[in-house]
């Protein structure tokens, strides 16, 4: 959000839990931001479409052997960011988050229609849902529909999803 970062806290988490893969959305706008965060070696970098100012960044990073995560960000029906990025899945990396901002913390359930549409376009890329996940049944339904994972902060904080719900999901 442009108000500093939590690099020291992230380094502590990384050091205390070395097997944990952190995904970090640091508001990357372009190549310089990306390389600055990469040098910190804190985790995998997430690049949100709403922040990105260089539409060809993913192609450039792929040529360098880099594998960031793309977050395709939506507010309502509006895609936030460069239209070319949304229109051309060949620009996407292997891991893509579909972030429906209006559903974050809403308890409205995942945007299944949008997730299904993006999964169809994605050509085998791993798709992750963000926004609206309420409980373990949502996670199970997403998994059955081919969604690779989900961001679940509100459901974790509220206790709606815990170890029991996560442990009940089939692996793979």
Q: Helix or strand or coil: residue 139?
A: helix
CA atoms within 13 A on the CB side of 6: 12
Instruction: Give me the number of domains the chain comprises.
Output: 1
Question: Does 133 fall in a domain?
Answer: yes
Question: Does 20 fall in a domain?
Answer: no
Residue 77: CB partners within 8 Å, gap ≥ 6?
A: none
Give the tens place of pLDDT for each residue, 87-135: 899 989 999 999 998 788 777 889 999 999 999 999 999 999 999 899 8
Measured in whole angstroms, the distance separating CA 149 from the mean position of its chain's CA atoms is 9
Q: Which domain holds residue 123?
A: 26-167
Question: Does 145 fall in a domain?
Answer: yes
Which of these ranges, 35-39, 82-86, 162-166, has the smallest mean pLDDT?
162-166
Q: Helix or strand or coil: residue 149?
A: strand
Put simply, whether the predicted model's pTM sits higher than 0.85 gets the answer: yes
Give the tens place of pLDDT for each residue, 133-172: 998 899 999 999 999 999 988 888 888 888 887 777 766 5
What element of type H or E holds 44? strand 44-48
pLDDT band at 3 (very low <50, low <70, confident <90, very high): low
Whichever domain contains 122, its CATH number is 3.20.20.70
């Amino acid at each position: 959000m442009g108000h500093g970062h939590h690099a020291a806290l992230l380094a502590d988490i990384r050091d205390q839990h070395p097997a944990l893969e952190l995904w970090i959305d640091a508001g990357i706008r372009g190549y310089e931001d990306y390389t600055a965060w990469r040098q910190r070696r804190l985790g995998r970098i997430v690049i949100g479409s709403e922040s990105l100012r260089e539409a060809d960044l993913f192609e450039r990073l792929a040529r360098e052997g880099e594998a960031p995560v793309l977050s395709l960000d939506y507010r309502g029906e509006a895609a936030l960011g460069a239209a070319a990025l949304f229109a051309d899945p060949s620009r996407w990396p292997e891991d893509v988050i579909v972030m429906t901002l209006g559903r974050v913390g809403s308890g409205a359930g995942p945007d299944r229609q949008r997730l299904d549409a993006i999964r169809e376009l994605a050509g085998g890329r791993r798709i992750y849902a963000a926004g609206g996940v309420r409980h373990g049944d949502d996670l199970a339904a997403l998994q059955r529909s081919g969604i690779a994972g989900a961001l679940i902060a509100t459901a974790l904080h509220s206790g709606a999803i815990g170890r029991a719900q996560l442990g009940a999901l089939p692996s793979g």
